[in-house]
């Protein structure tokens, strides 16, 4: 498949993010995206994901980004600050760059909920995020190739 995808994954909570990463990479390979067209970037934590995703988008070398991480609620408001910042950053990047930046960040109340979504009973949200990225890249390409009303195409 003629598509280059960046996968940004947080190393924090690696027992959850490693299976998310593996699910995403396996799914991208199933879609026919070869190793040279997969760009894996690991960062310290979820808070850093938007910065790394932005760097990939600024490089001009990726068609979309899959953002993977896990933020598990604790006893302090830290969870709320991290989740809010990451959500806002990822959303803004997608709009600013006009490319899919898929939110594959688990935001769970418990460790068990995170594990269930990283290959457990609730599936693998990393695999789902990767599939969504491929679908969005294809959809945006199709929309951008539509002819204008006068019959010409955008150059």
Band (pLDDT 50/70/90 cuts) for residue 151 is low
Task: Give the pLDDT mean for 125-152.
Answer: 91
Smallest CA-to-CA distance from 43 within 33, 29, 53, 35 is with: 53
**Catalytic residue among 78, 92, 141, 144, which?**
78
- Is residue 154 predicted with pLDDT exceeding 60? no
pTM of the full structure: 0.92
Q: What residues does 120 pair with on adjacent strands?
A: 123
pLDDT on residue 155 = 55
Band (pLDDT 50/70/90 cuts) for residue 35 is very high
Going 30 to 31 to 36 to 41, the CA torsion angle's sign is negative
Q: What is the mean pLDDT of the chain?
A: 94
Smallest CA-to-CA distance from 31 within 144, 138, 141, 145 is with: 138
**Rg, Å, the chain Cα set:** 16
Structure tokens at 36: 């040279």
Smallest CA-to-CA distance from 24 within 64, 61, 54 is with: 64
Cα separation, 121 vs 33, in Å, equals 27
Question: What domains does the chain contain, in order, with CATH numbers?
Answer: 5-144 (3.40.50.960)
**Percent residues over pLDDT 70 in the chain:** 96
Q: For residue 33, what are the contacts with CB-CB under 8 A and spacing of at least 6?
A: 1, 3, 4, 5, 134
Cα separation, 134 vs 4, in Å, equals 9
Residue 31 falls in the annotated catalytic set: no
Q: How confident is the model over 50-103, as pLDDT tens digits?
A: 999 999 999 999 999 999 999 999 888 889 999 999 999 999 999 999 999 999
Please state the φ and ψ torsions of residue 143, each to the nearest 5 degrees: -65, -45
């Amino acid at each position: 498949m003629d598509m280059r995808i960046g996968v940004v994954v947080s190393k924090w909570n690696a027992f959850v993010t490693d299976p998310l990463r593996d699910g995403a990479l396996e799914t991208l390979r199933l879609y026919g995206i070869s190793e040279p067209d997969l760009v894996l970037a690991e960062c310290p934590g979820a808070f850093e994901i938007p910065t790394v995703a932005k760097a990939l988008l600024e490089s001009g070398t990726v068609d979309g980004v899959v953002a993977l991480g896990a933020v598990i609620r604790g006893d302090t408001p830290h969870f709320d600050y991290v989740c809010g910042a990451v959500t806002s950053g990822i959303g803004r990047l997608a709009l600013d760059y006009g490319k899919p930046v898929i939110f594959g960040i688990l935001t769970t109340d418990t460790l068990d909920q995170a594990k269930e979504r990283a290959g457990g009973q609730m599936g693998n949200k990393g695999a789902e995020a990767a599939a969504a990225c491929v679908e969005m890249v294809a959809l945006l390409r199709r929309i951008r190739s539509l002819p204008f009303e006068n019959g010409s195409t955008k150059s």
